[in-house]
Amino acid sequence: MNLFSAIFLVLLIPSSLAQLSQTETRILFQVQKLLEYPQVLQGWNNWTNFCFLPPSPSLKIVCSNGRVTELTVIGNRTSPSSHSSEPFQALSGTFSTDSFFTVLTKLSSLKVLSLVSLGLWGTIPEKINRFSSLEILNISSNFISGEIPDSISSMRNLKSVVFADNLLSGNIPDLTSLSSLEEVNFDGNKLGPEFPSIGNNIVKIILRKNSIRSQIPLDLSNFEKLQILDVSLNNLIGRIPNSIFSLPSLHYLNLSSNKFSGNLSMNSPCSSSSSLNYVDISHNFLVGKLPSCMVKSKAKMLYSWNCFSKKSLKDEQHSLSYCKRDAALAVKPPNRKVEKGSSMKLGLVLVIVGGVVGIACVLALIIVFILWKSKPERLNHNMGGSVAHKFSEKSNMNARHVPQTMRLGTHGQPPYNIFTEEEIEDATNNFDQSNLIGEGSQGQIYKGWLRNGSVVLINCIKIKQKGLPHSIMQQLDVLQNLRHRHMVSVLGHCLITHQDPPQVTCTVFIVHEYISNVSLRDQLTDGKKKDMLKWPQRMAISIGIARGVQFLHTGVAPGVFGNNLKIENILLDDSLNAKVSGYRIPLPSKSTVNEESDAEKEDIYQLGVILLEVITGRQITSSSEVEQLKDELERSSSEPPSSILRSTIDPSLRGSYAYESMNTAVQITINCLSKISSKRPSIEDVLWNLQYSMQVQESWTSSGNLSTKF
């Protein structure tokens, strides 16, 4: 009777708690090993009954009929997008996402897979669609890079996809075929530029903090089940569709920190949605009046830092001119395609146009110089009160002679300020030594905090020279114009003069913007970070550097040369935009035309060294290494294309570039590194070749022509 009772009790055990099959037990032990025995899995051993493990916040395993249907593992390895003060903790270099997911997909009955903060790195393999039964996929807070594979579109049972806080880039695949999909969360990546296509059964869309640069699709008005939409901190453009405010199920809407423009319809039907309780449209370029239904709405409404009419609005707004100017710059450029047979024509046209524009600029500068020299010199020895007026007047005149394409790069910068000595002392806590972060050939550099909370760098430069007042006025004129999206820009200055006849001594405090992210050198020497820099990303960074140098050479008058260009001085912001730092601050000097010409060509050589590191992925520490790698590039570029990969090109770039694109970049790099300075190209030539290389790359990517993939 006792035996019968025992058998009866066993039969009563639900199938969800049945003993796990030996095959799936072995798979779980393989997962434990591949994850390098994280703390949450360290209690596993040969006697562990996985189906009977009590669920916890960091581990949950659910079984059915001897198979795993849910695996949730939450580790403690911080990701790049986390706000933790702990260092990043990716898995070791032996880890492979391909091998890992090959093992995981053998758990064929999985419906829920959550692998969070485990240090996973690498790309998502195409075989991800082998999870034929998967309904929830969460690999957030890891180091996953590259593009999301198209194969995810064939995972018909997916209801939730959460890839937040990784390093993913490129466009999101078309998800309209996933009719069961209810949630997508790609927060904190670099995805874009297109807004993803998603089925209209979606309930939750979170695309916050990515690189989306398109308009909101109109078909979003058909998403009647949508409850949460967060696309903040992107670069979305165009008008906000009025219908979005009247979606029947929507209760959370965040469109802040984008580039939306235009006005909101005064007849907006926003009040018809009784569920909408949070709306954030702040930090855009919206104009006109705020619809009355929003002003009177019971929902929490955030609309500051647009350009709405300030009447009856409590929140801060920009001036109307601010929004009109910046909204014009936010217009999406047309897609460029380089067709075979037309690229040479395009190049010829660009060369001719560039030559005409260049000649016109030179003539304009000569005329300005002649007029300036013929103008009577008036020196106001009381510099304190008159500097700002002369400074602004003269810089406006010079700005008219800067090419329009270069001036566009300066928009979006905060107003230039002339700081007082007291403000500089406050910012640095009276030049406290704890705020001193460096000392170079042009003085000490302090980290400071302005009264509005902004973090800045303050360069302290002391000058002693005869006839200083007039020459320093000229240099301050140039200083105000050192502002560009691909430079660590100058935000303002403070000038203090001391009379010491017959000399004048002055101290100039130059306030720069502060970039908190990593340098290009850091990005290329860190194995995990380097993997996310494929050829298109490296080309975009290289073009950004060249534009920054071009602005220094030709965007201000007189040009700034001898800029000590080094890869560790190329900083990358959160969107991987390159910013040139450590460039020369123009000071009164007696440099000759020949010296300036030599300095210009030295800048080109140094830019060539940076490009060499970008292409090879190697850290260069000596001139002999430069020559060695240059020789290797010259030899490899003259051999069949496939040999390039076997010689000098960074192996991590494999499969991400078109041969013609790479070869163009290699050739201009070799030219920059010419031993004969006169044979080095101008910065315009360098930029033109890099842009052509990018156009070829974009054309190849869009055509999917694998015959040129190496």
| Confidence at residue 16, expressed as pLDDT on a 0 to 100 scale | 45
Measured CA to CA, the distance from residue 514 to residue 253 in angstroms comes to 31
Element (H, E) at 69: strand 67-74
The model's pLDDT over 456-509, given as tens digits with 9 standing for 90+, comes to 999 998 877 655 555 566 667 777 888 888 999 899 999 887 766 666 678 889
CB-facing half-sphere around the CA of 265: CA atoms within 13 A = 13
Of residues 320 and 605, more confidently modeled: 605
354: confidence class by pLDDT, cuts 50, 70, 90: low
| Confidence at residue 184, expressed as pLDDT on a 0 to 100 scale | 98
Of residues 280 and 529, more confidently modeled: 280
Could you give the angle at the alpha carbon of 423 between the alpha carbons of 417 and 424, nearest 5°? 90
Looking up tokens 């406006």, which residue turns up?
396
Measured CA to CA, the distance from residue 74 to residue 606 in angstroms comes to 46
- Once rounded to an integer, what is the mean pLDDT over residues 255-277? 77
Measured CA to CA, the distance from residue 75 to residue 87 in angstroms comes to 15
CA distances from 653 to 10, 166, 355 (A): 57, 20, 35
Q: What residues have CB less than 8 Å from 385, skipping those under 6 apart?
A: none
The model's pLDDT over 640-695, given as tens digits with 9 standing for 90+, comes to 555 555 567 888 888 888 888 998 999 999 999 999 988 999 999 999 999 999 99
Q: How far apart are the first and last CA of the chain?
A: 74
Measured CA to CA, the distance from residue 290 to residue 16 in angstroms comes to 55
Measured CA to CA, the distance from residue 216 to residue 235 in angstroms comes to 11
The strand pair at 143-146 and 121-123 is best described as parallel
Alpha helical stretches, state H, 268-403: 292-295, 320-329, 343-374, 383-399
Measured CA to CA, the distance from residue 41 to residue 661 in angstroms comes to 47
- Mean of pLDDT over the chain: 80
| Confidence at residue 607, expressed as pLDDT on a 0 to 100 scale | 96
Could you give the percent of the chain with pLDDT greater than 70? 75
Specify whether the CB–CB gap between 114 and 73 falls below 8 A: yes
SS3 521: helix
The strand pair at 143-146 and 167-170 is best described as parallel
pLDDT at 428 over 70: yes
The model's pLDDT over 530-577, given as tens digits with 9 standing for 90+, comes to 888 899 999 999 999 999 999 999 888 788 899 989 999 999 988 889
Strands ordered across the beta sheet of 136-138: 59-64, 67-74, 112-116, 136-138, 160-162, 183-185, 204-206, 228-230, 252-254, 278-280, 300-302
Looking up tokens 């030539």, which residue turns up?
685
The model's pLDDT over 528-541, given as tens digits with 9 standing for 90+, comes to 788 888 999 999 99
- Once rounded to an integer, what is the mean pLDDT over residues 443-459? 87
Q: Which amino acid is at 678?
A: S
| Confidence at residue 317, expressed as pLDDT on a 0 to 100 scale | 86
Count CB neighbours of 54 within 10 A.
6
The model's pLDDT over 180-213, given as tens digits with 9 standing for 90+, comes to 999 999 999 989 999 999 999 999 999 999 999 9
Could you give the angle at the alpha carbon of 323 between the alpha carbons of 321 and 327, nearest 5°? 125
Cis, bond preceding 193 (omega within 30 deg of 0): yes
CA distances from 623 to 455, 518, 666, 672 (A): 36, 25, 18, 14
Closest CA to 528 of 99, 93, 98, 77: 93
Question: Which long-range contacts (C-beta less than 8 Å, at least 24 apart) are formed by 9-17?
Answer: 15/64, 15/65, 16/51, 16/62, 16/63, 16/64, 17/51, 17/52, 17/63
Structural domains for the chain: 2-212 (3.80.10.10), 358-514 (3.30.200.20), 517-710 (1.10.510.10)
Of residues 710 and 508, more confidently modeled: 508
> Encoding tokens for residue 94?
């032996």
DSSP code string of 410-457 = GTTPPPPEE--HHHHHHHTTTT-GGGEEEEETTEEEEEEE-TTS-EEE
Closest CA to 568 of 516, 520, 527: 520
The model's pLDDT over 18-70, given as tens digits with 9 standing for 90+, comes to 589 999 999 999 999 999 999 999 889 989 999 999 989 999 999 999 999 99
Of residues 93 and 393, more confidently modeled: 93
Of residues 324 and 492, more confidently modeled: 492
| Backbone CA torsion sign across 516, 520, 522, 524 | positive
Specify whether the CB–CB gap between 257 and 326 falls below 8 A: no
β partners of residue 228: 204, 252
Gyration radius from the chain CA atoms: 30
Count CB neighbours of 280 within 10 A.
18
Measured CA to CA, the distance from residue 490 to residue 481 in angstroms comes to 8
Of residues 701 and 426, more confidently modeled: 426
| Confidence at residue 641, expressed as pLDDT on a 0 to 100 scale | 56
Q: What residues have CB less than 8 Å from 83, skipping those under 6 apart?
A: none
- To the nearest 10 degrees (0 to 180), the angle between helices 468-480 and 383-399 is 50
